[in-house]
């Protein structure tokens, strides 16, 4: 049984224009007028809005995060953003290894580990995503796939630096489908066991987030599962009211 404070991160993905900051203002209002949240609240907007989210969120405790970073500190990588640039814009966290990056950009777990190392090197906390596809689950390979991703994606530096793991079954992302509570429990316990095997006591303190169709309607029961230490929320993080309901469910 782990007791670290929960963390709820919103991943806006490739959604959000300047007017989306109105939703951020509404979230800030809800967070500061309602009961103080138990969870750390992180919002990961597109990079174009990162500095604004960091500045606007600060007074209400909203922490800004990036959605990805390059493994290198600088150089000829057109269109990419380094971890140092995210930190410079006010980010404290960065998502690495999201399945959309693994799929759309053919990112391997080795690449993800290099990005996590770069994030740590720039003072950011990486949120390292893992998760099986539907066919892998159907073939009974979910735990072994996730174990392989964990082993290769989490850097040794996690012994001294904070990292967060996000378990996101690929087939649950944006689909409205979720694993059963038993399946979530089984996977999060398996991840905890791997982290404890590798990092000892420190492995007991690494947050394991659940992501994939987390909604106001299912947040309380999913976030109540042992070894679920928070959530990584996509679609439902775009509306302040829904995201606040999820935040309030822990
Ligand atoms: O990063 C967030 C996840 O991919 C979950 O997305 P979703 O909540 O829209 O299913």
- Report how far residue 67's alpha carbon sits from residue 225's, in angstroms, rounded to the nearest whole number: 26
Cβ atoms of 98 and 68 closer than 8 Å: yes
Q: How far, in Å, CA of 227 to CA of 122, rounded? A: 28
Q: Is 100 known to be catalytic?
A: no
Checking if the pLDDT of 2 tops 60, the result is: no
Distance 172 CA to ligand 1 centre (A): 8
Task: Decide: 169 in ligand 1 pocket, CB within 6 A.
Answer: no
CATH assignment of 8-15+63-68+80-247?
3.20.20.70
Distance CA 73, CA 224 (A): 39
Predicted TM-score of the model (pTM): 0.98
**Contact assessment for residue 59 and residue 90, using Cβ atoms and an 8 Å cutoff:** no
With a 6 A CB cut-off, is 242 part of the ligand 1 pocket?
no
Question: Is 234 near ligand 1, meaning CB less than 6 Å away?
Answer: yes
Strand-pairing partners, residue 210, are 167, 231
Q: Is residue 3 pLDDT above 70, yes or no?
A: no
3-state secondary structure of 185: helix
Rounded distance, CA 72 to CA 83, Å? Answer: 8
- What's the pLDDT band for 34 if we cut at 50, 70, 90? confident
Percent above pLDDT 70 for the chain? 99
147-178 pLDDT, tens digit each: 999 999 999 999 999 999 999 999 999 999 99
Strands of 22-150 (E only): list them: 40-44, 62-66, 93-96, 125-130
Q: Does the pLDDT of residue 1 top 50, yes or no?
A: no
- Kindly tell me if the per-residue pLDDT of 35 is higher than 90: no
């Amino acid at each position: 049984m782990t007791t670290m404070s929960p963390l709820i991160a919103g991943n806006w993905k490739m959604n959000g224009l300047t007017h989306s900051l109105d939703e951020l203002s509404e979230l800030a209002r809800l967070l500061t007028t309602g009961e103080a949240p138990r969870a750390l609240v992180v919002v990961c907007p597109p990079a174009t809005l990162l500095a604004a989210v960091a500045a606007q969120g600060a007074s209400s405790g909203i922490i800004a995060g990036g959605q990805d970073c390059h493994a290198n500190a600088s150089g000829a990588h057109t269109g990419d953003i380094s971890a140092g640039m995210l930190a410079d814009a006010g980010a404290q966290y960065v998502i690495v290894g999201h399945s959309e990056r693994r799929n759309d950009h053919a990112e391997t777990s080795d690449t993800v580990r290099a990005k996590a190392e770069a994030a740590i090197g720039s003072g950011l906390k990486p949120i390292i995503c893992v998760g099986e596809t539907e066919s892998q689950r159907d073939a009974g390979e979910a735990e072994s796939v996730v174990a392989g991703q964990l082993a290769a994606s989490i850097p040794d530096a996690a012994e001294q630096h904070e990292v967060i793991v996000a378990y996101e079954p690929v087939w649950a992302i944006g689909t409205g489908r979720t694993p059963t509570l038993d399946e979530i429990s089984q996977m999060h316990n398996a991840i905890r066991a791997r982290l404890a095997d590798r990092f000892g006591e420190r492995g007991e303190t690494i947050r394991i987030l659940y992501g994939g169709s987390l909604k106001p309607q299912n947040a309380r029961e999913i976030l109540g599962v042992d070894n679920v230490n928070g959530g990584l929320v996509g679609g439902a993080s775009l509306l302040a009211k829904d995201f606040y309901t999820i935040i309030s469910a822990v």
